[in-house]
Every structure is written in structure tokens, then in C-alpha cells.
Amino acid sequence: MKVLMSPARMLKGRNNFIDIVVSGLESEGLEVSHWRPYRPGQTGDIFHIHWPETIPAFYARTGGTVIGPLCELNFWDTVQRVKRSKGAVVWTAHNITPHGLSEAACKRWEEFISRLLSELTGVIYLTRTSELAMKARYDVLKSVPAATVHHPHYGTAMPAPSGRDYRLEWGVKPEARVLAHIGLMSRIKGTLKLAEEFAKYSSPSDTLLLAGHADPDLEADLRQALNAAQGQCILKFGWLTDQEVVDLHAAVNTVCFFGENYLNSGTIMQALTMNRQVSALDTPWIEELRSHVGADWLKAVESSAPLPATLATNLPTGAAPDLSRFSPEAVARDHKFAYKQFLEANR
């Protein structure tokens, strides 16, 4: 089976999720190639799309040039070519609302997603609750064949800890509590809410780490929000290496995820992979994930005042979250099974 994926290997080093998925599919005997916006004539048994918002975003970013429209035309040409050959056009619905789109891209997004939904052969959801939420948002999805394939854990993708002691470098006492958001930051992920909560409720003995990429506007708002914080604030803005991600997790107690309108997050899976407790707003998909990994490891907190509940959490000792459902091998098998189902339904 040949899988044309957007994106595939081109994000290596920037998106471990894609690397894990592609490696898993290849280990199952599938041939995976990367869809290239500028190359005509691409095809496969499966055209698997992960983040379709990149197409209207690129269109908007290129302004009045012909590059954006040509890339979009090539995308739709690929969709039709795959369907004409009785292949399957598949979308992994990561979230209801794409994050990071400009105003111009948002205007194009609604038109773009409406057309894409009408062309789909199958949809992959990362959780059962996300399937319900997506079908409530887009009624057309109720008639599209669906499968649930979980987000893989990162155990096979990350290096071993280097031994670097960030707590010692920061001057944080061993018994002190360190809260964190590690990885890509955005408003929809609740990073600003975390900063505002820390400024409101932290004590001088608390430490907050914000590490990862943030757009300039969000970075400025985060700095401003933390001006009034009593606790120590450690800000490390910029793209992180895998080694930094591992070593920073080793220095923190709890990763906080205060996004409300979210259906899945690699930030949470990354923390759980590294045996770090996560505190997240109580939403249906968080409850589903808790049922798999264990309630001690994923604490659901109320949105009205999530930080006090986070600070009062007792950490599990000598244990690890149950990530068996999220192994790369299981995810690869589930993808392969879903592809076969979609192809059969289309032929």
C-alpha cells in the first residue's frame, strides 16, 4: 500500500509525531512518501492529510503571487487523482479550530475546509470524544467513514537524559515545586492563562518554566502577565532541541495545559512519556485520556481556578502512566487497519 502523506518526512526534527507515525507505517510494510506542494502528478492508494490549514495559510501568506494559488490547485488535483484511481482521501482531525492562522488565512479556511470535507473518503480521530465534537461542529462528517487512532507516545523518539541539572542552574531547591509548559506555546493551548494564574496564585517558593516557541505578540503578553508573579519565572523562548525537551522535563514536577477548546495535544503526551504529571482543564477528551493513563498522572482541574488545585496535587511516586494504548506499534497497526477500511468502503 502506498501512502502519500502531508506532511511526512519533511518535518523531521520539527515534529516527532510525524516521524513516529511514518516510521510505524513503514515497519508495517507500507510505502510512505511526502506530498510536495510544487510537484504535479503525485498519487497513492491513500492521500493522508494532517494539517490542511497549511494550504490556505500559505495562500494568504504569499499575497498576490501565483505561488499560493498554484499550490492549492495542485492539492485539489492530487485529491481528484487519488479518488479517480479508487484511492482514499483521509484527514486526521487534530483539532476543531486551527491555531496560528492569520486573519486572511482564517477567511480562506472556512471555504477550504468545506470543500475538503465534501471530498473525504475517511476521517481519523485521535479520541472518541474528539469524534463526537467534530461531528457536532461539521454535520457532513456524520456520513464519512471514521476510525479512532490514538496519538503515539514519544518513547521511541527522544534521547536519554544528558544529566544536565537545570534546577541547580536555576537555583531551585530540591523540595521546591516547578510547574511548566514545555513546547510550542499558543493562546489556544492556554499558555497565557497559565501565566496569569501563576501571577495571581503563586507563592515565592513556586517556580514556573515556560519553554518553547511563541509568536512575538504572545511572548510580550506572557512577559507582561508574569510581572506581578511572586514566584520565580524562567522564560526560555525559541525552538527546543529534543535533548532540551528531555532535560527540561526532568527538572519539573507538573506540566500545565490550560487550553479549553482542544481535542488533543502532543504537549500532554510528551510530558506523560517522560513520567511527568499533567494538570489540565477538565474537558471530555481529558477525561477519556485519564481513563487510559491513570487519574494520578492526568489531573483534571476546574477552569475557574486551575492553579490552586494544581499546587495542591500530590505527585505519584515510583510509578509510571499506562501508555500501552499509545505505543507506536499499536498506532501503526491501527492506521493500517483504518486505511484498509476506507479503501474497502470506497471500492
- Determine the average pLDDT of the residues in 44-48: 98
Checking if the pLDDT of 63 tops 80, the result is: no
Residues whose CB is less than 8 angstroms from the CB of residue 241 and which lie 6 or more positions away in sequence, other chains included: none
- Cell 494559488 found at: 69
pLDDT band of residue 11 (cuts 50, 70, 90) is low
- Whole-angstrom Cα distance, residue 319 to residue 275? 8
Whether the Cβ atoms of residue 73 and residue 116 lie closer than 8 Å to each other: no
Q: What is the CATH number of domain 166-322?
A: 3.40.50.2000
- Whole-angstrom Cα distance, residue 34 to residue 22? 10
CATH topology of domain 2-152+327-345: Rossmann fold (3.40.50)
Fold match between domain 2-152+327-345 and domain 166-322:
yes
- Whole-angstrom Cα distance, residue 188 to residue 195? 13
pLDDT score recorded for residue 234: 96
Output the nine-digit C-alpha cell for 183. Answer: 513546547
DSSP code of 11?
G
Greater pLDDT, 62 or 337:
337
- Whole-angstrom Cα distance, residue 125 to residue 146? 7
pLDDT band of residue 14 (cuts 50, 70, 90) is low
For all residues of the chain together, what is the average pLDDT?
91
% of the chain beyond a pLDDT of 90: 71
Most confident of 230-234, 309-313, 333-337: 333-337
pLDDT band of residue 274 (cuts 50, 70, 90) is very high
- Whole-angstrom Cα distance, residue 210 to residue 213? 9
Closest CA to 35 of 85, 71, 80, 83: 71
Residue-wise pLDDT for 77-130, tens only, equals: 999 999 999 999 999 999 887 866 777 677 788 889 999 999 999 999 999 999
Among 181-195, 265-279, 295-309, 323-337, the minimum mean pLDDT is found in 295-309
Q: Where are the domains of the chain?
A: 2-152+327-345, 166-322
* Total residue count of the chain as it appears in this document: 347
